[in-house]
Amino acid sequence: MASRNVVNNMKGLVQFISDLRNSRDSGYEEKRINAELANIRSKFKDSSLNGYQKKKYVCKLLYIYTLGYPIDFGHFEAVQLLGSQKYSEKQIGYLFISLILNEKDDLTNLVINSIKKDLQSHLEVYNCLALHCVANIGSAEMAAALSEVVQQLLNSHVTKPYVRKKAALALLRLYNKDSAIFKPEMTHRICTILQDEDLGVVTAGCSLIATMAESNSAAFAEAYNPAVKILYDLIVNGDCPQEYIYYNLPSPWLSVKLLQLLQILPAPDDPALNNKLSETLRYVFSNYTIMCSNVQQSNAQNAVVFEAVNLVIHMNSDPSLLHKCYQTLGNSLTAPLINFQYVSLEAMAYLAASVENTYEIRKHMPTILNSLHNRDVSIRRKALDLIYLLCDKSTVSPVVTELFKLLSTADLSLKEELSVKIAVLAEKSATEAKWYISTMMRLVYLANEQAPEEVWVRVVQIVTNNENIQVPAAQDALSYLQHSVCPSTLAKLCACILGEFGHLISSDPNTSAAVQLDAMESHITSCPSTVKAIFLSAYLKFCSVFPDLKPRILPIFQRYSTAANAELQQRAYEYLMLASNPDTTLLDTVCEELPLYDERESALFNRVGHSDDTISRSKMIERRNSYMPVSNGKASNPFRTNGVDTVGSSMNSAAPSSRHSVTRTETSIPAGSSTNADALYDLLISSTNDGVLYEDNTLKISVRSKFMPPHGALILTFLNKTAGALSNFKSTIDPYSSTHLKTIISRDTGGTIYGNDTAQQTITTEAADIFWDSPKVSITYSAGTPRTHNIRLPIVLTKFMVPLPILAKDFGYRWGQLREVNLERRSTIKYGTGVIGLEIEYVNDIVKGFGWGICNREEHAETTEWLCSGVLKLCLRQDALILELQYWLHDI
């Protein structure tokens, strides 16, 4: 036992921990833990346990939990501890609840009453424990039940400072869970928090205001003035209580929060106030940037400096301040501390994306390019982001050369991102068609499988849509195939291009059809079957264009029609039949040229080869989270993903509609009358695929969706309800929201939605495995002030269910089978209390809406019973599911 000041007075717990620490191997540890769990279980059966004992055992459970073992009991005892009158017992009860439960657990609802009691207690220490719990695991249900009590604590004059600051943050949590708790009349009270004498309260209050103002910035405009004043007093006057000084600096955390808040609130037209702010910022730039020997102080100072830089970029009004920013960023870029280089690269990217003229940043290009080879992958990635933003037509060629150097040495995690960026840069800044094609081919050659599918598919699309690059593309493709080594992705690309455009170069004897066939044949035997399939399709196209080559090609189809791979076998056999049919009408129809890809999507890319076009650097961002285009490499990927099935559909132009059906859009969407977002959402996930996803005074988002498990497509329609334009419209999928779900925005809106106009966006999704969280899309735009909405998409697991009714007589047998292998679950769901009952047909619709096929339905006097079955179709698994639903009209 190491500690001297702090005494752990639970002897049994200390003994238990020591025991486990002394265990030689994990086998002993597990045995000891199992024995202890059994012991605790039996103790809990004893109703005469006193509070101390309960606390001790719950604490042991918590320790076992922290070691990584699952805990499935003790909840009841923990809830009892919540009701204890002793602080230390209550504290352990709350710790258990906040660690073991999370907001999604139903059990959380059971503790709401205990929490409420503690919130209303006259003992501030109880208030605090309850507030911690609300702040850490608060849910939408808690928001409904507790937000008023929390607000009372926040507003009351008798509340102590440490309770107030916790109440502010608990309210923030509840607001995040349910924004409906916000009422406009609250704003004034909330803004007065900034005038609190206690800096801890002000710090917490800043977070609360910043969060609420994100979506209602105008409502909190009155906070601007006090925020500037506190900042000025803190930084310029050094007016700060001793306990908030951190390494000679008045609370850097509060300074940063205030600077962040000022980026969210609308700036008033008040010259005196603006001068005050400018003076503060100047003070920061001249006094905080001095390097000091203490690393803590340096970090804290620079935290403030970089936030000041962000604010200056955001205001973008004072050239002299902007100049200071350039100086500061230039200095830290070459600073010996690597953390500062990182932050500096990040801030430069923000700057590059915000200002018109990037000359000042480009002065540092050699250093930035050098950072691409830094030892730290985090730095390399930041440098890449920045270079991506700085690159334009004049620099694209040397930049891409440098990126190619990096590509050959980069580690796997960076390669995908890098290849996407090279592809996009090549596309948007290319001045010569030939350069574009050779760059892309080289990219696919070097990155091979590390480049996402979309890259090579995109090349095919661009070549198809631009006649002037088809000849050089075919020439390059042939010459790559003539190499002895041709990576599989490149082989796919080359085969596709030759199949489609090989005939354009066949008049030259050096590149005749026979030569092309030779080149392809040298690779087909050694490549994987997905690539072979594309080779076969290319051969088929050759059969159509060069009938005299049939004698060479048919035996190849013959050979693969006995291939072990079933897909390949079928394809080869079908091709054989098609090509050997003396009537070539069908063959020629199937092999018709690829139709042009959707114009709107390729609009940007039609510029390839037209050097007179000026393509401006992407410079449209308000909030910084949207400028990181490739932080996960996928979300911002400009390549569309639906319709990429060039393998299948290009061969089969008889069914082109399948490729376009997902992107076809319609505007007539039944609007829900209610604006309650949650109710709308519930409707969207349970019974309908089309409806309104979000609506406020400015914007209405409707959705149409179609699911063909394991895939799905959603079309979002944005309606600008105001007369003015919504600019910088941008949406990104939160890549973190669901790991088993791959969700991509495959078609973006144009960036601006004009008054009373609509814009559309297509999102595709693919479920790999079981997932619980719906992906979120973050929508940012500017309507005078920047706004952000985070919106859950109506993509839930049940959307990937396909109804598959089985015979009612088989139902019992199947059920028994599953029960035998322990795959049966039962639960009771109560629908409200005192509700007379739902319409049977409503329940029926919900069952169907969740993707169940109804095998049988029986209605009795008290109950209605459904037998249902369905298949959950995901990429990695398919599960057949059966459901027996008993619906009781009255409480049982």
**Residue 243 near another protein by CB under 8 A:** yes
Do the annotations mark residue 117 as ligand-binding?
A: no
Count of Cβ atoms closer than 10 Å to residue 122 Cβ: 7
Name the minimum Å distance from CB 802 to another protein: 25
Name the minimum Å distance from CB 308 to another protein: 11
Rounded Cα distance, 229 and 220, in Å: 16
What SS3 class is residue 879?
Answer: strand
Specify the stretch interacting with another protein by CB under 8 A; choose among 317-325, 336-344, 670-678, 679-687: 336-344
Do the annotations mark residue 647 as ligand-binding?
A: no
How many of the chain's residues bind another protein (CB under 8 A)? 89
Name the minimum Å distance from CB 86 to another protein: 5
C-beta separation of 742 from 726 below 8 A = no
Which long-range contacts link 24-31 to residues 24+ away (Cβ below 8 Å)? 29/67
Name the minimum Å distance from CB 856 to another protein: 34
Among 631, 652, 653, 758, binds another protein (CB under 8 A): 631
Using CB under 8 A as the binding rule, the residues of this chain from 306 to 335 that contact another protein are 306-307
Using CB under 8 A as the binding rule, the residues of this chain from 828 to 887 that contact another protein are none
Q: Which is nearer to another protein, 11 or 830 (CB)?
A: 11
Rounded Cα distance, 731 and 622, in Å: 12
What SS3 class is residue 487?
Answer: coil
Q: Which is nearer to another protein, 76 or 87 (CB)?
A: 87
Do the annotations mark residue 43 as ligand-binding?
A: yes
User: Which amino acid type is present at position 12?
Assistant: G
Rounded Cα distance, 751 and 603, in Å: 14
Do the annotations mark residue 52 as ligand-binding?
A: yes
Instruction: Tell me how long the chain is.
Output: 892
Q: Which is nearer to another protein, 5 or 585 (CB)?
A: 5
Name the minimum Å distance from CB 78 to another protein: 13
Show the site string, 266-305: x = touches another protein by CB under 8 A, - = not.
------------------------------x--xx-xx--
Name the minimum Å distance from CB 736 to another protein: 5
Among 57, 224, 326, 342, binds another protein (CB under 8 A): 342
What SS3 class is residue 885?
Answer: strand
Specify the stretch interacting with another protein by CB under 8 A; choose among 148-156, 246-254, 793-801, 839-847: 246-254
Name the minimum Å distance from CB 733 to another protein: 9
**Residue 632 near another protein by CB under 8 A:** yes
Tokens 């003015």 — which residue?
A: 724
Name the minimum Å distance from CB 372 to another protein: 15
Among 190, 256, 368, 783, binds another protein (CB under 8 A): 256
Specify the stretch interacting with another protein by CB under 8 A; choose among 561-569, 624-632, 676-684, 745-753: 624-632
Q: What is the largest CA-CA distance in the chain?
A: 98
Show the site string, 635-664: x = touches another protein by CB under 8 A, - = not.
x-----------------------------
- Both tokens of 10, joined, read 């639970």
Among 232, 244, 326, 542, binds another protein (CB under 8 A): 244
**Residue 27 near another protein by CB under 8 A:** no
Among 182, 253, 435, 573, binds another protein (CB under 8 A): 253
Do the annotations mark residue 355 as ligand-binding?
A: no
Name the minimum Å distance from CB 672 to another protein: 27
CA–CA distances in Å: residue 334 to residues 220, 364, 371: 39, 10, 10
Show the site string, 124-143: x = touches another protein by CB under 8 A, - = not.
-x-----xx--xxxx-----
Dihedral of the alpha carbons of 39, 41, 42, 46, in degrees to the nearest 10: 130
Do the annotations mark residue 240 as ligand-binding?
A: no
Name the minimum Å distance from CB 300 to another protein: 5
Rounded Cα distance, 382 and 624, in Å: 14
Specify the stretch interacting with another protein by CB under 8 A; choose among 63-71, 480-488, 493-501, 849-857: 63-71
Rounded Cα distance, 755 and 225, in Å: 32
E strand segments, 734-873: 741-747, 758-767, 776-783, 785-792, 801-803, 853-859, 863-873
Beta-bridge partner residues of 870? 803, 881
Using CB under 8 A as the binding rule, the residues of this chain from 143 to 172 that contact another protein are 162, 165-166, 169-170, 172
Name the minimum Å distance from CB 495 to another protein: 35
Strands 785-792 and 776-783: antiparallel
Among 143, 406, 628, 693, binds another protein (CB under 8 A): 628
Specify the stretch interacting with another protein by CB under 8 A; choose among 244-252, 460-468, 469-477, 537-545: 244-252
Count Cβ atoms within 10 A of the Cβ of residue 408 and give its class: 0-12 exposed, 13-18 middle, 19 or more buried: exposed
Name the minimum Å distance from CB 502 to another protein: 42
Among 155, 378, 395, 686, binds another protein (CB under 8 A): 378
E strand segments, 411-471: none
Name the minimum Å distance from CB 421 to another protein: 15
Q: Which is nearer to another protein, 335 or 871 (CB)?
A: 335
Rounded Cα distance, 869 and 879, in Å: 11
Taking CA 705 as the corner, what is the angle to CA 713 and CA 880, rounded to the nearest 5 degrees?
A: 80
Q: Which is nearer to another protein, 695 or 734 (CB)?
A: 734
Using CB under 8 A as the binding rule, the residues of this chain from 84 to 113 that contact another protein are 86-88, 91-92, 95, 99, 102-104
Among 216, 225, 339, 397, binds another protein (CB under 8 A): 339
Among 25, 45, 70, 697, binds another protein (CB under 8 A): 70
Among 40, 62, 745, 806, binds another protein (CB under 8 A): 62
Do the annotations mark residue 65 as ligand-binding?
A: no
Using CB under 8 A as the binding rule, the residues of this chain from 570 to 599 that contact another protein are none
Which of the 8 DSSP states describes residue 636? Answer: T
Rounded Cα distance, 649 and 457, in Å: 13
Q: What is the 3-class SS of 665-717, one letter each residue?
A: CCCCCCCCCCCCHHHHHHHHHHCCCEEEEEECCCEEEEEEEEEECCEEEEEEE
State CA 728 to chain mean position distance. 19
Name the minimum Å distance from CB 42 to another protein: 23
C-alpha closest to that of 843 among 823, 868, 826: 868
Show the site string, 710-749: x = touches another protein by CB under 8 A, - = not.
------------------------xxx--x----------
Rounded Cα distance, 322 and 313, in Å: 7
Which of the 8 DSSP states describes residue 762? Answer: E
Rounded Cα distance, 266 and 785, in Å: 7
Looking at 821-868, list the stretches that DSSP marks H as alpha helix, in order from N- to C-terminal side: 840-849
Among 81, 142, 199, 515, binds another protein (CB under 8 A): 199
Using CB under 8 A as the binding rule, the residues of this chain from 345 to 364 that contact another protein are 346
Q: What does residue 590 show for φ and ψ, rounded to 5 degrees?
A: -60, -35
Which of the 8 DSSP states describes residue 646? Answer: T
Which of the 8 DSSP states describes residue 753? Answer: B
Using CB under 8 A as the binding rule, the residues of this chain from 769 to 808 that contact another protein are 772
Name the minimum Å distance from CB 13 to another protein: 8
> Using only C-alpha atoms, what is the Rg of the chain?
32
Q: What does residue 55 show for φ and ψ, rounded to 5 degrees?
A: -60, -45
Count of Cβ atoms closer than 10 Å to residue 400 Cβ: 22
Q: Which is nearer to another protein, 314 or 747 (CB)?
A: 314
Annotated binding site: 43, 52, 56-60
